[in-house]
Structures are given as structure tokens and as C-alpha cells.
């Protein structure tokens, strides 16, 4: 199993995803500033992984003697779209207030968040089996695997669960320009796990759907509003439209921590804008005029009505409203 995040008492080891798939190397984070850099520069990426890393960043900041409010602000301002970052920081801040700043207790809380992410991802994978059939060909976008979480994956967690059950599935992976998370990371994970996959360019999914080669689409998410509008890697929206046109089920796989019930719709989600050189270049190779203007949003918003269902640790739901009703009913029953 791929280990993207390793906690070693006084340091956080993050598998440097900028170097994959050709080189496996860990960045050693010994301070909160190292963790902030790792999140901002995409050493670590993926909403759940960012949240877990930030939790350990809080511990490192406390061990450096920093104030919890200062720690919160340093980490909060690294990347704006993924809600798991704020979710984890709020959990850690609440724990800090509860334990009056006891560092040992805070470390245990961070470890628990790490372990729960693994547990919930496995539950997402198991629940996702209910929408799969033997022989399915599934399209995924970006990377929602072990590398994007504590170590199992959301969308790719469903594929892992399918393999563990013995289902015969095939995964089509689009390259996911401009950062190439699909080409570099998702194919790397699937081949490590011996899950059959095929890499395609970002402009090929429509033709594959037209040919009847895609049975389902399963992707991850960075933030989901109350009405189901979902922020995910740029390019997700167009896949949802193509899926709608071709009558192909389109699923989001995400833990509850990715849902932001304070936002009524996707218009309230802040979209991160990134450096234009990510588009002008592939790695260090310039592929366009070096001064051409670039528009480079990291995410787009897929309207909730285009989404067939949400695969969560609680089950698979047709809407966020159904998910909330399930949670509320569970609370009433003492679950």
C-alpha cells in the first residue's frame, strides 16, 4: 500500500507528489512552515490529505512554541478551495481548547484524524461496490486515491475495493491538465495495485462515451455545497455534461468532511487560481510563447443536478438532502 503521509513523532514525512511517477522521495517536514510549503506547493495534494497534513502541522507548530491562532492562520492560507483543510484545523483548534494546549493530547488527535481518514475511505470503497457491476469500464478524473488521502482513496478506494472483491473492472484515466495528476499519479497508483487502466488525453472522453466504452464516471471532490454543487479539479464539469448527454451515471466519492453545509451553493466556493507557468510548461519545458496570457483555475463547479449520487462513508445518496436526512435519522436513533 502506498504511504503518502508518515508521522514520526517530531517530523512529518510527505511523499513528494511532484516527483512521481519516476521518483519516490519524502519531504521531511520539521516545522509548521515546512508543512505550509508542502501544501501550497503541492508536495501533498488532495483534500483529505491536505487536512490530515495540516493536523500534523498544528502539532509541529505547537512544539515550536507558536500560538494556536497563529498556527491556524499560517495553515489556513495555504490553499483556499478544499474544505477539509479548514475542517481539520477547526477540529485541532477545538481539541486545543478542550485540552488546554496539551501537546501529547494534540498529537493523539492528529493521529486519530489520520486513522479515521483511512477507515472512512475504506467504508467509501465498500459502499461504492453497490453501484458497480462486474465488467464495468469507469472513467476517473484527476487523482482521488491513496495519494490524495491518508492512504486508501475515495474514488480510487472504490476501485481498490472492487479488486479486493474480485470484480473485473477497467479504469480510464484522463491526463488532467495542466498538472497531470491523472497521467502521473492515478496511473501510478492503479498500476502499483495491478488494477487494469488506460491513460487517455483530456479531449478524448466524449468520443469514448459516444462509442459506448464508459459505463460510469467516479471522481473525488474538494468541497461540496449544501445543494450538491461540487468543486473538483478543473475539467470535472465538462465530464458531467458529457455524462448527462450520454446518459452515463456520474458519481462523487467523498467523506463527510468534504461537505460544506455552511454554503448554499457552488457560487460561494472560492476557486484557487494558480501560476500560469503550469499551463505554459510541462515540468520545465516551455510549450507555448513564454509571455502568452494564461487563465489557470485549479477547480471548477459541477452543478448538483448533474450528479447521479454521492458515495460516502455513510452510504450512497442521490442528493446531499438525502445524506443529511440519513445523518439526522442516525442521530435520533443514537447511532
pLDDT one-digit tens code per residue, 18-55: 999 999 999 999 999 999 999 999 999 999 999 999 99
Q: Which residue has the cell 463547479?
A: 301
Mean pLDDT, residues 49-77 taken together: 96
Three-state SS at 264: coil
What's the pLDDT score for residue 2? 87
What's the pLDDT score for residue 125? 98
Q: How far is CA 227 from CA 50, 239, 305, 307, 323, in A?
A: 24, 19, 9, 11, 11
Mean pLDDT, residues 194-206 taken together: 98
Mean pLDDT, residues 146-171 taken together: 96
pLDDT at 118 over 70: yes
Q: Which of 16, 117, 136, 222 is catalytic?
A: 222
User: Is 222 annotated as catalytic?
Assistant: yes
What's the pLDDT score for residue 334? 38
What global pTM score does this model have? 0.93
What's the pLDDT score for residue 78? 95
| Confidence class for position 328, pLDDT limits 50, 70, 90 | confident
Per residue in 279-318, pLDDT tens? 999 989 999 999 999 999 999 999 999 999 999 999 999 9
Mean pLDDT, residues 219-243 taken together: 98
Element (H, E) at 38: helix 32-40
What's the pLDDT score for residue 1? 72
What's the pLDDT score for residue 292? 98
Parallel, antiparallel, or unpaired: how do β-strands 250-253 and 285-286 relate?
A: unpaired
Phi first, then psi: give them for residue 229, nearest 5 degrees: -55, 135
Q: How far is CA 40 from CA 81, 221, 263, 297, in A?
A: 12, 18, 24, 15
Element (H, E) at 156: helix 155-165
Element (H, E) at 124: helix 103-128
What's the pLDDT score for residue 333? 39
Which residue ranges form the domains of the chain, and what is each CATH number?
A: 5-121 (1.20.120.420), 122-332 (3.40.50.10470)
State percent of the chain over pLDDT 70.
99
Chain centre distance of CA 166: 25
Amino acid at each position: 500500500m502506498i504511504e503518502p503521509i508518515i508521522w514520526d513523532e517530531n517530523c512529518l514525512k510527505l511523499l513528494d507528489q511532484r516527483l512521481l511517477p519516476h521518483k519516490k522521495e519524502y519531504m521531511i517536514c520539521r516545522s509548521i512552515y515546512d508543512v505550509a510549503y508542502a501544501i501550497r506547493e503541492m508536495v501533498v495534494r488532495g483534500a483529505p490529505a491536505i487536512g490530515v497534513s495540516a493536523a500534523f502541522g498544528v502539532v509541529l507548530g505547537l512544539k515550536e512554541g507558536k500560538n494556536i491562532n497563529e498556527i491556524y492562520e499560517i495553515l489556513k492560507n495555504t490553499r483556499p478551495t478544499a474544505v477539509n483543510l479548514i475542517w481539520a484545523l477547526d477540529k485541532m483548534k477545538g481539541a486545543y481548547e478542550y485540552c488546554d494546549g496539551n501537546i501529547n493530547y494534540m498529537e493523539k488527535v492528529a493521529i486519530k484524524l489520520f486513522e479515521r481518514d483511512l477507515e472512512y475511505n475504506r467504508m467509501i470503497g465498500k459502499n461504492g461496490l453497490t453501484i458497480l457491476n462486474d465488467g464495468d469500464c469507469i472513467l476517473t478524473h484527476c487523482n482521488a486515491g491513496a495519494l490524495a488521502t491518508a492512504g486508501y482513496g475515495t474514488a480510487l478506494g472504490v476501485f481498490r475495493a472492487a479488486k479486493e472483491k474480485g470484480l473485473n473492472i477497467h479504469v480510464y484515466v484522463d491526463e488532467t491538465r495542466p498538472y497531470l495528476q491523472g497521467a502521473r499519479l492515478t496511473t501510478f497508483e492503479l498500476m502499483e495495485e495491478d488494477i487494469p487502466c488506460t491513460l487517455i488525453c483530456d479531449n478524448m472522453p466524449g468520443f469514448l462515451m459516444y462509442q459506448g466504452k464508459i459505463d460510469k464516471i467516479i471522481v473525488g471532490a474538494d468541497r461540496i455545497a449544501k445543494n450538491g454543487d461540487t468543486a473538483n479539479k478543473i475539467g470535472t464539469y465538462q465530464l458531467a455534461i458529457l455524462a448527462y448527454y450520454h446518459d452515463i451515471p456520474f458519481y462523487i466519492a467523498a467523506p463527510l468532511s468534504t461537505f460544506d453545509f455552511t454554503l448554499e451553493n457552488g457560487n460561494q466556493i472560492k476557486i484557487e487560481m494558480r501560476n500560469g507557468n503550469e499551463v505554459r510548461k510541462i515540468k520545465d519545458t516551455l510549450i507555448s510563447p513564454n509571455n502568452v496570457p494564461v487563465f489557470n483555475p485549479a477547480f471548477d463547479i459541477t452543478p448538483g443536478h448533474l450528479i447521479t449520487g454521492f458515495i460516502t462513508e455513510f452510504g450512497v445518496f442521490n442528493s446531499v438532502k438525502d445524506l443529511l436526512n440519513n445523518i439526522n435519522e442516525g442521530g435520533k436513533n443514537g447511532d
